[in-house]
């Protein structure tokens, strides 16, 4: 999703401005004001669900739920959660019988077993998406019309011959799209030159693509191109990636968290606070302490309820992600009062299960401990069987480093674990059906 070249799709300028000013204010509002806004919106969606969405009509009837009874966020818990499995099964009955069918847009996401699931959004939900990006980019100093580059693969995949197109420039907005499939040592200089020629001030990208690009730029010893801010989305941003990218380009990264399902958005402020975007969706944090034996603080499951998309409304949708709440004392120095999240531990399927049943939510961090690794990926095929893909940093990943990596992995996975370490290039990683890079993939955790 881009703020720019799909601008023609955003048909509700009044709604866009209304959202923008309201959500901007909500960031600084007291919790009661936020709660009132959210409950009012959610009750209206629930009433719509009761009348026009077959799945919810039946669910509410079976459970004696009346939208008017939802007076507090806790009352929402009367409504059973919407799991990915229910979404897969009930995707057709989750679509409203009424609404903006003639202006709807279909988004595709991967289901629990990898098959595609259709998510339908109406024009209000498009306005919602536009505004969240607008507010987020604004935090980094962006204003509509400023020169912008975006690393994308999805955009080029739609082209007839995706591998022939290195970049595309939008003549209307001046936005520069760079094909992620072409990030290589040879092309890095060309991309950099394109950015310089177009006066690019901002970049939007997935962290893994930009990290690789940064490494090439560093190797070239290129000069500063004068970026103002970098926006990363779509994957967890590792500390190592952040450091490398920020050093290479001499500017700050602001990280963003969101989903195709459009019920939860969180975005970083310039003081490093990961704020819940309270106007975007109603975010619920469910305590799972005790279920996980990982290190760190209390983990919460992340659930979201739509306040805007009536065409296919998701109520109490379980994103499958786990988060830790930032409970550092005092308000964020940016002045925003919205909730802050300290760490997103990743999805349940991204957890590695140890031999003794222990759960490791962040095992990919071992890659940060070893020199000579540009990117790494752990795939757990069976409880004791692991494939580890390593994209080495030239010849710095020596046998000694490999031993070191094995030593650290065995500390967690047990001495009986079969660990197969392979050296790959960027294309050699397992991208699964979603096409997204994930540093941990477990076929065991989701079972
Ligand atoms: Zn902040």
Does residue 198 fall inside a structural domain? no
- DSSP category for residue 53: -
Per DSSP, the residues of 102-168 read GG-EEEEEE-TTS-EEEEEE-HHHHHHHHHHHHHHHHHTT--TTS-EEEEESHHHHTSSSGGG--EE
Q: Is the pLDDT of residue 145 over 50?
A: yes
d(CA 257, ligand 1 centre) in Å: 15
Residues near ligand 1 ion, CB 5 Å cutoff: 269, 271, 273, 332, 334, 336
Answer with the residue of higher pLDDT: 379 or 154: 379
CA angle (30, 33, 39) in 5-degree steps: 135
Q: Does 243 lie in the same domain as 130?
A: yes
How far does the centroid of ligand 1 lie from the alpha carbon of residue 223, in Å?
Answer: 31
357 & 310 share domain: no
Residues 332 and 425 in one domain: no
54-63 helix and 31-52 helix, angle to the nearest 10 degrees: 100
Of 349, 384, 417, which marks where a domain is finished?
A: 349
In the predicted structure, residue 167 carries a pLDDT above the cut 90 = no
Instruction: State the average pLDDT for the chain.
Output: 84
pLDDT value at 16 more than 60? yes
Mean pLDDT (whole number) for 187-199: 91
For residues 339 and 357, membership in a common domain is answered with no
Whether pLDDT at 352 is above 90: no
Q: Could you tell me the distance, in angstroms and rounded to a whole number, from the CA of residue 446 to the centre of ligand 1?
A: 34
If you measure from the C-alpha of residue 268 to the centroid of ligand 1, how many angstroms do you get, rounded to a whole number? 7
Tell me the two tokens of residue 293.
Answer: 């034996």
CA of 279: how far to CAs of 6, 28, 132, 268, in Å?
22, 11, 9, 15
Say how many Å lie between the CA of residue 54 and the centre of ligand 1.
Answer: 40
Q: Do 127 and 258 lie in a common domain?
A: yes
In this prediction, residues 360-365 reach a mean pLDDT of 68
Cα(338) to centroid of ligand 1, in Å?
Answer: 8
Per-residue pLDDT, averaged over 369-375, amounts to: 83
pLDDT of residue 411: 78
Strands 359-360 and 352-353: antiparallel
Give the distance (Å) from ligand 1 centre to CA of residue 252.
14
The reply to whether 386 falls in a domain is: yes
| Residue 274 Cα to ligand 1 middle (Å) | 7
Q: What is the pLDDT of residue 174?
A: 73
Domain identity same for 333 and 358: no
Q: Can you give 385-421 as a three-state secondary structure string?
A: EEEEEEEECCCCCCHHHHHHHHHHHHHHHCCCCEEEE
Distance 266 CA to ligand 1 centre (A): 11
CA 83/CA 80 separation, integer angstroms? 9
Name the least confident of 115-119, 142-146, 399-403: 115-119
Q: pLDDT band at residue 5, thresholds of 50, 70 and 90?
A: very low
Query: Residue 149, class by beta-carbon neighbours within 10 Å (0-12 exposed, 13-18 middle, 19+ buried)?
Result: buried
User: Do 240 and 372 belong to one domain?
Assistant: no
128 located within any domain: yes
Ligand 1 centre from 339 Cα, in Å?
A: 9
- Tell me, in angstroms, the distance from the centre of ligand 1 to residue 227's CA: 22
- Of 44-58, 134-148, 161-175, 284-298, least confident by mean pLDDT is 284-298
Residues 380 and 233 in one domain: no
The DSSP secondary-structure symbol of 90 reads H
Do 356 and 324 lie in one domain? The reply is no
Write down which residue in 319, 349, 379 finishes a domain: 349
Tell me whether residue 165 is in a domain: no
pLDDT (mean) for 205-211: 85
Q: Ligand 1 centroid to 99 CA: how many Å? A: 37
Q: How far is the CA of 129 from the centre of ligand 1 (A)?
A: 21
Centre of ligand 1 to C-alpha 424, Å, is: 39
Centre of ligand 1 to C-alpha 49, Å, is 35
pTM over 0.85: no
Phi and psi at 193, nearest 5°, equal: -65, -40
Confidence of residue 362 (pLDDT cuts 50, 70, 90): low
| Cα(333) to centroid(ligand 1), Å | 6
Q: Are residues 13 and 124 in the same domain?
A: yes
What residue numbers bound the domain in which 411 lies? Answer: 352-442
Flag whether pLDDT at 291 surpasses 60. Answer: no
User: Does residue 434 sit within a domain?
Assistant: yes
Residue 147 in any domain: the answer is no
- Asked if the model's pLDDT at residue 325 lies above 60, the reply is yes
Name the token pair of 265. Answer: 């958005």
User: Is 215 part of a structural domain of the chain?
Assistant: no
**pLDDT greater than 50 at residue 412:** yes
DSSP state, residue 81: P
pLDDT score for 4: 45
Give 198 Cα–ligand 1 centroid separation in angstroms.
Answer: 31
| % of the chain beyond a pLDDT of 70 | 85
- Residues 359, 309 share a domain: no
The CA 342 to ligand 1 mean position distance, Å, reads 12
Residue 252 lies in a domain: yes
> In angstroms, what is the span from residue 21 Cα to ligand 1's centroid?
18
Q: How far is the CA of 332 from the centre of ligand 1 (A)?
A: 5
Pairwise CA distance, residues 379 & 441, whole Å: 5
As for how many domains the chain has, the answer is 2
Kindly give the distance from the C-alpha atom of residue 312 to the centroid of ligand 1, in angstroms, as a whole number: 32
- Between 170 and 217, the higher pLDDT residue: 217
Question: Ligand 1: distance of its center to the CA of 242 in Å?
Answer: 18
Ligand 1 centroid, distance to 331 Cα (angstroms): 8
CATH number at residue 426: 3.30.300.30
25-39, 328-342, 351-365: which range is least confident on average? 351-365
Q: Which of 348, 256, 260 is nearest to 304 (CA)?
A: 260
Interval between CA 234 and ligand 1 midpoint (Å): 20
Q: Is the pLDDT of residue 293 over 60?
A: no
Query: For residue 27, how far is its CA from the centre of ligand 1 (angstroms)?
Result: 9
Q: What is the rounded distance in angstroms from the CA atom of residue 323 to the CA atom of residue 276?
A: 12
* CATH code of the domain covering residue 57: 3.40.50.12780
Last residue of a domain, one of 349, 375, 396: 349
Distance 269 CA to ligand 1 centre (A): 5
Q: Over the stretch 99-109, which tens digit does the pLDDT of each residue have?
A: 667 678 888 77
Chain center to CA of 167? 24
Domain identity same for 342 and 321: yes
Calculate mean pLDDT across residues 16-41: 95
């Amino acid at each position: 999703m881009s703020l720019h070249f799909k601008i023609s799709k955003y048909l509700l300028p009044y709604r866009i401005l209304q959202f923008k000013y309201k959500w901007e204010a909500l960031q600084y509002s007291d919790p009661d004001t936020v709660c009132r806004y959210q409950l009012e919106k959610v009750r209206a969606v629930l009433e719509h669900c009761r009348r026009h969405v077959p799945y919810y009509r039946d669910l509410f009837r079976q459970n004696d739920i009346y939208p008017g009874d939802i007076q507090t966020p806790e009352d929402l818990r009367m409504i059973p959660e919407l799991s990915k499995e229910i979404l897969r099964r009930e995707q057709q009955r989750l679509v409203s019988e009424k609404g903006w069918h003639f202006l709807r847009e279909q988004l595709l996401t991967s289901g629990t077993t990898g098959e595609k699931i259709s998510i339908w959004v109406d024009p209000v939900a498009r306005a919602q998406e536009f505004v969240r990006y607008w507010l987020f980019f604004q935090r980094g100093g962006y204003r509509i019309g400023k020169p912008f580059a975006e690393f994308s693969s999805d955009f080029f995949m739609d082209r007839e011959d995706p591998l022939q197109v290195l970049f595309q420039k939008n003549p209307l907005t001046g936005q520069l799209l760079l094909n992620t499939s072409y990030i290589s040592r040879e092309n890095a200089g060309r991309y950099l030159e394109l950015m310089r020629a177009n006066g690019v001030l901002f970049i939007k990208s997935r962290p893994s693509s930009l990290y690789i690009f940064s490494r090439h730029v560093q190797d070239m010893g290129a000069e500063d191109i004068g970026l103002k801010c970098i926006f990363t989305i779509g994957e967890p941003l590792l500390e190592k990636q952040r450091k490398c990218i920020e050093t290479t380009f001499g500017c700050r990264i602001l990280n963003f968290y969101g989903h195709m399902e459009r019920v939860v958005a969180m975005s970083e402020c310039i003081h490093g606070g990961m704020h819940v975007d309270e106007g975007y969706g109603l975010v619920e944090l469910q305590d799972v302490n005790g279920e996980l034996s990982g290190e760190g603080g209390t983990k919460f499951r992340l659930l979201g309820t739509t306040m805007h998309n009536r065409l296919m409304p998701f109520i109490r949708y379980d994103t499958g992600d786990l988060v830790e709440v930032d409970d550092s004392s005092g308000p964020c120095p940016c002045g925003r009062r919205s909730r802050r999240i300290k760490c997103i531990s990743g999805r349940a399927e991204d957890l590695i299960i140890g031999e003794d049943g222990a759960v490791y939510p962040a095992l990919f961090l071992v890659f940060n401990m070893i020199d000579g690794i540009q990117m790494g990926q752990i795939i757990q095929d069976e409880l004791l069987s692991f494939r580890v893909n390593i994209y080495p940093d030239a010849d710095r990943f020596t046998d000694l480093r490999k031993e070191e990596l094995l030593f650290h992995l065995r500390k967690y996975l047990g001495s009986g674990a079969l660990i197969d370490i392979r050296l790959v290039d960027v294309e050699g990683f397992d991208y699964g059906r979603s096409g997204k890079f994930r540093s941990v993939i477990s076929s065991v955790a989701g079972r």
